[in-house]
Amino acid sequence: MKPLFRSFSMFILQIARDRMLYAVCISPVLAGLFFRFGIPYIETLLCSTFQETSILKEYYLLFDLFLCTLTPFLFCFSASMVVLTEHDENMTRYLAVTPVGKKGYLISRFLFPAAISFIVSMLLLQVFSLTVWHASMMLIVCLLGSLLCVATSLLVVGLSRNRVEGMAVTKLSGMVLMGLIVPFFVISKVQYLFFFLPSFWLAKLSRDGNYFLLVPSAAASLIWIFLLYRRSEKKLA
């Protein structure tokens, strides 16, 4: 376990040197403040302008979901950028033959940040949420949000040969989070076309409050992680 923590501390030092760590720490708080105080204010303005009783209120849960996936997304995004850089500079080959190993390397780069993000997401949601959350649902959604972002980062690392392709895949990987909006805007059965997106099930689970949806939600994330982990591991060889 000690080599993994060492590898993780190397990663933290690297993103602190690049100032990415500060961005990862500050941005979710700023977003939380905006969602908590800015969105209700905008809602009041919109309602008075358009003479409606509510416009954004029914999407407050969507803002909460974005808030809960923001920290893991940023943390895992910076991790994938570090992995791409280390891969291009052949650092990963050297790390793979140290006691860290390939598996340990990927765990220290993706799972550790996701675990920290999970705790931070819980705190952020507790402080800045716009809707009322049951403790168990909050725990599940934050956990699934972190898993979703691990899958997204593995997608970037697994599908790209170098950092240029990595940036191109990163642009596309944002689409994985777009599944969050589907259950809010596509009410018909057409929404099930997005069944392969873990974010779709995550949004559906929190919107419907049906704990049974935890199964497809976790399964979708784990399948993505399993497939992309194998691909990323091969790449590090």
Positions touching other proteins (CB under 8 A) are 14-15, 18-20, 23, 78, 81-82, 84-85, 88-89, 161-169, 171-172, 175
Nearer to other proteins, 32 or 166 (CB): 166
Distance CA 142, CA 148 (A): 10
Taking the complex as a whole, the smallest distance from the CB of residue 27 to other proteins amounts, in Å, to 10
Nearer to other proteins, 78 or 221 (CB): 78
Taking the complex as a whole, the smallest distance from the CB of residue 103 to other proteins amounts, in Å, to 24
If we measure between CA atoms, which residue out of 67, 162, 163, 75 comes closest to residue 122? 67
In Å, the largest CA–CA distance within the chain is 65
Task: Look up tokens 């009322």; give the residue.
Answer: 132
Nearer to other proteins, 18 or 233 (CB): 18
Taking the complex as a whole, the smallest distance from the CB of residue 151 to other proteins amounts, in Å, to 20
Q: What is the CA radius of gyration of the chain?
A: 19
Nearer to other proteins, 78 or 129 (CB): 78
Taking the complex as a whole, the smallest distance from the CB of residue 91 to other proteins amounts, in Å, to 11
Nearer to other proteins, 15 or 122 (CB): 15
Phi/psi-derived region of residue 90, left when phi > 0, alpha when psi is between -120 and 50, beta in every other case: left
Nearer to other proteins, 168 or 223 (CB): 168
Distance CA 234, CA 150 (A): 17
Taking the complex as a whole, the smallest distance from the CB of residue 18 to other proteins amounts, in Å, to 4
Taking the complex as a whole, the smallest distance from the CB of residue 192 to other proteins amounts, in Å, to 19
Contact, 208 vs 192, CB < 8 A? no
Nearer to other proteins, 164 or 215 (CB): 164
Distance CA 146, CA 144 (A): 5
Taking the complex as a whole, the smallest distance from the CB of residue 169 to other proteins amounts, in Å, to 8
Distance CA 143, CA 25 (A): 19
Distance CA 11, CA 8 (A): 5
Query: In Å, what is the CA distance from 157 to each residue of 36, 178, 179, 192?
Result: 34, 20, 21, 27
